[in-house]
């Protein structure tokens, strides 16, 4: 009997990935921003019982996988997925499913609607061909749970606070919290009994707004920090922070610009960050960012605090570091 010819690469691109045992494939489902309605989760579980071995796997890319699908069952599984509105994810050299945290609608630390933006970006850019895999992540704040610094293109929410002095009662809570988080951009003015902010030290985390019991700290401006060129793997690379206070809509423009630049300038199989290193960050900034997108200040090598500001861990349960 003649063996059936299988284009493994084409199957991989469509979301069927060959397992160690050649006769089995993983079916990868697309979950933009990590949100899926419970009905579709149940349907995926039922399909795993029918076509797999009765379990699903949640990937680090926020996809749902059904392992142990037989080649002969692929067409039937795909037809059922289409009928249920469950979409396939992908693998290989293209824009992957876009990841996100819970964002501002669920997490009180969140500053932007990370899952909403990820879902919208996924509709626009998922599956675009690129020289190698291209991963995008949205984080609601600079805690960065979706690891924006370790993706080819990453965003995290940021906010510039402003004090409404007439509402402040001088409790010092914001100053203490800012000190414990490492920036120490807030100090109390002894004459006015009001907190004062040093913008050169501020990381724009917005925790002063979050913690204020009288709502004296308010939002002056809000947006996204932008990181490019990050990746995991055998040779990991920490992303470069290249812009701040980018609007929601501008994140889409930057995705388009970065993907276009990547396709025009990279070698086949070369990751985005490797291309930036080979051609130079300066060239990338000139050709993609221009004068429109700039950083709020010079950030340290990790892009998480202003250059020269050292990290300190000063929680109530830790002894104070006098260094």
Please say if the pLDDT value at position 312 is more than 80. Answer: no
The mean pLDDT value for 38-59 works out to 96
Please say if the pLDDT value at position 260 is more than 50. Answer: yes
Per-residue pLDDT of 236-245, as tens digits, reads 999 999 999 9
Per-residue pLDDT of 288-308, as tens digits, reads 999 999 999 999 988 888 988
Q: Which pLDDT value is given to residue 317?
A: 46
Query: pLDDT category, 323, cuts 50, 70, 90?
Result: very low
Per-residue pLDDT of 103-162, as tens digits, reads 999 988 889 999 999 999 999 999 999 999 999 999 999 999 999 999 999 999 999 999
Per-residue pLDDT of 75-115, as tens digits, reads 999 999 999 999 999 889 999 999 999 999 998 888 999 99
Please say if the pLDDT value at position 46 is more than 70. Answer: yes
Which residues, 6+ apart, have CB-to-CB distance to 264 below 8 Å? Answer: none
All domains in the chain, ordered by first residue: 8-84 (3.30.70.3340), 99-289 (3.30.413.10)
Q: Which pLDDT value is given to residue 313?
A: 58
Question: At CB < 8 A and 24+ separation, what contacts does 179-184 make?
Answer: 179/312, 179/314, 180/312, 180/313, 180/314, 180/315, 180/316, 181/205, 181/207, 182/305, 182/309, 182/310, 182/311, 182/312, 182/313, 183/305, 183/306, 183/309, 184/309, 184/312
The mean pLDDT value for 21-30 works out to 93
Query: pLDDT category, 67, cuts 50, 70, 90?
Result: very high
DSSP 220-237: EEEEEEEEES-B-SSS-B
The mean pLDDT value for 18-41 works out to 93
Q: Which pLDDT value is given to residue 12?
A: 87
- Of the listed ranges 4-13, 49-58, 101-110, 200-209, the least confidently predicted one is 4-13
- Of the listed ranges 1-10, 204-213, 240-249, 279-288, the least confidently predicted one is 1-10
Q: Which pLDDT value is given to residue 182?
A: 64
Per-residue pLDDT of 164-210, as tens digits, reads 999 999 999 999 999 877 678 999 999 999 999 999 999 999 999 99
267 Rama sector, left if φ>0, alpha if ψ -120 to 50, beta otherwise: beta
The mean pLDDT value for 7-17 works out to 88
Please say if the pLDDT value at position 1 is more than 50. Answer: no
Q: Which pLDDT value is given to residue 180?
A: 78
């Amino acid at each position: 009997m003649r063996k059936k010819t299988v284009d493994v690469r084409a199957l991989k691109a469509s979301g069927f990935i060959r397992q160690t045992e050649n006769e089995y494939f993983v079916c990868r489902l697309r979950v933009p921003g990590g949100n899926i309605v419970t009905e579709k989760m149940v349907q995926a579980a039922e399909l795993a019982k029918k076509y797999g071995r009765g379990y699903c796997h949640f990937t680090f890319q926020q996809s749902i996988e059904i392992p142990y699908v037989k080649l002969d069952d692929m067409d039937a599984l795909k037809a059922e997925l289409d009928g249920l509105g469950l979409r396939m994810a992908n693998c290989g050299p293209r824009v992957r499913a876009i990841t996100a945290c819970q964002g501002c609608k669920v997490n009180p630390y969140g500053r932007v609607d990370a899952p909403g933006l990820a879902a919208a970006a996924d509709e626009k850019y998922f599956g675009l061909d690129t020289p190698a895999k291209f991963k995008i992540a949205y984080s609601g704040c600079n805690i960065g749970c979706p690891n924006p610094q370790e993706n080819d293109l990453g965003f995290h929410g940021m906010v510039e606070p402003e004090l409404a002095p007439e509402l402040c009662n001088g409790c010092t809570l914001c100053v203490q919290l800012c000190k414990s988080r490492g920036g120490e951009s807030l100090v109390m003015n002894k004459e006015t009994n009001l907190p004062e902010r040093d913008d050169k030290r501020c990381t724009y985390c917005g925790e002063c707004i979050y913690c204020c019991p009288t709502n004296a700290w308010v939002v002056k401006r809000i947006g996204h920090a932008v990181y490019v060129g990050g990746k995991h793997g055998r040779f990991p690379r920490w992303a470069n922070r290249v812009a701040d206070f980018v609007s929601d809509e501008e994140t889409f423009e930057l995705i388009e610009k970065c993907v276009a630049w990547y396709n025009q300038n990279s070698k086949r199989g070369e990751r985005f960050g490797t291309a930036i290193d080979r051609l130079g960050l300066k060239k990338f900034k000139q050709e993609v960012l221009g004068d429109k997108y700039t950083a709020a200040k010079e950030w340290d090598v990790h892009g998480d605090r202003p250059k020269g500001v050292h990290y300190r861990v000063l929680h109530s349960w830790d002894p104070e570091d006098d260094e």
